[in-house]
Chains A and B, each alone.
Chain A
Amino acid sequence: MNSTSISRIRTLAAHEYRAAVRSRILLTLLGILAVATIASVYVASVAHRSQVADYRAYKDAASASGLDRIAPSNLAPMSLLRGAFEYLQIIGAVIAVSLGYLTVQRERTNRTLPLLRSRPVTAGEQATGGLLGAAALLATIVAITAITGVICIGVIGNDWVTPSELLQLALAYLVSIVYMTGFYALGVFCSVRSRHAVNGLIAALCVLVLFVLVTPQIGDTLDADNQIPGGLFKALGMNRADETTILNHFNVYETLRTRIEWISFSQHYQRFVFAMADVKERYRPLGLGGLMTKVWTDLAWVFAAPAALIALQRRAVRTQPTMQEGATS
Chain B
Amino acid sequence: MIGVIARQQLLACRRQNLAPVTVVVLGGFAVLAGILGWASHHTIIGIYDESVKLVTDRGQTAPPNPFLLKPTLSMLSNEMIYITVIGALVAIVVGHLAIASDATNGIGRLVFSRPIRRRDYTFGKLAATGTILGAGVAVSYLVSVAALTVVDRFPTGGDLVRLAGFYLFAWLYLMLFAVIGAVALLLLRRRSLGLLAAIGVWLTLTFALPQFTSGLRPSQSLNPIVDPVPINQTLFRITSHVRPYSIAEQFKEAAGRILATATPEPAADTWLRIAPIVVAFALLAALTWNLITRHDYSRSNPE
Chain A contacts to B: CB under 8 angstroms:
23-25, 28-29, 31-32, 35-36, 39-40, 42-43, 46-47, 82-83, 86-87, 89-91, 94, 98, 102, 105-106, 109-110, 196, 198-199, 201-203, 205-206, 209, 213-214, 216-218, 220-222, 224, 226-229, 232-233, 235-238, 242, 245-246, 249-250, 253, 328-329
B206's nearest neighbour on chain A, judged by CB, is A90
CA distance A206 to B32 in the complex (A): 13
Q: Are B212 and A236 in contact (CB under 8 A)?
A: no
CA distance A91 to B85 in the complex (A): 12
Q: Of B108-116, B164-172, B218-226, B271-279, which binds chain A? A: B218-226
CA distance A198 to B198 in the complex (A): 14
| Chain B contacts for A43, CB-based, 8 A | 211-212, 215, 233, 235
Q: Are B51 and A328 in contact (CB under 8 A)?
A: no
CA distance A224 to B39 in the complex (A): 10
Q: Are B218 and A221 in contact (CB under 8 A)?
A: no
Give the dominant DSSP class at A's interface.
helix
CA distance A227 to B54 in the complex (A): 20
B265 within 8 A of A: no
Q: Are A36 and B100 in contact (CB under 8 A)?
A: no
B303's nearest neighbour on chain A, judged by CB, is A109
Given known A91-B207, A235-B66, A242-B51, contact A86–B89 (CB-CB < 8 A): no
Q: Are B233 and A46 in contact (CB under 8 A)?
A: yes
Say how far A43's CB is from chain B's closest CB, in angstroms.
6
Interface flags, B259-298, vs A, CB<8A=1, else 0: 0000000000000000000000000000000000000000
Chain B contacts to A: CB under 8 angstroms:
16-18, 21, 25, 32, 36, 39-40, 43-44, 46-48, 50-51, 54-55, 63, 66, 69-70, 78, 81-82, 85-86, 89-90, 93, 97, 100-101, 104-105, 190-193, 195-197, 199-200, 203-204, 207-208, 211-212, 215, 217-219, 222-225, 233-235, 303
| Chain B contacts for A238, CB-based, 8 A | 51, 54, 63
Identify A221's interface contact among B36, B217, B303, CB under 8 A.
Answer: B36
Say how far B85's CB is from chain A's closest CB, in angstroms.
6
Q: Are A83 and B36 in contact (CB under 8 A)?
A: no
Q: Are A235 and B69 in contact (CB under 8 A)?
A: yes
| Chain B contacts for A214, CB-based, 8 A | 32, 82
Given known A106-B192, A222-B36, contact A236–B48 (CB-CB < 8 A): yes
B37's nearest neighbour on chain A, judged by CB, is A221
Extra pairs beyond A23-B192, A202-B90, A329-B100 (14, CB < 8 Å): A29-B200, A35-B204, A82-B217, A90-B203, A105-B191, A202-B21, A203-B21, A216-B219, A228-B69, A228-B70, A235-B66, A236-B63, A237-B63, A242-B54
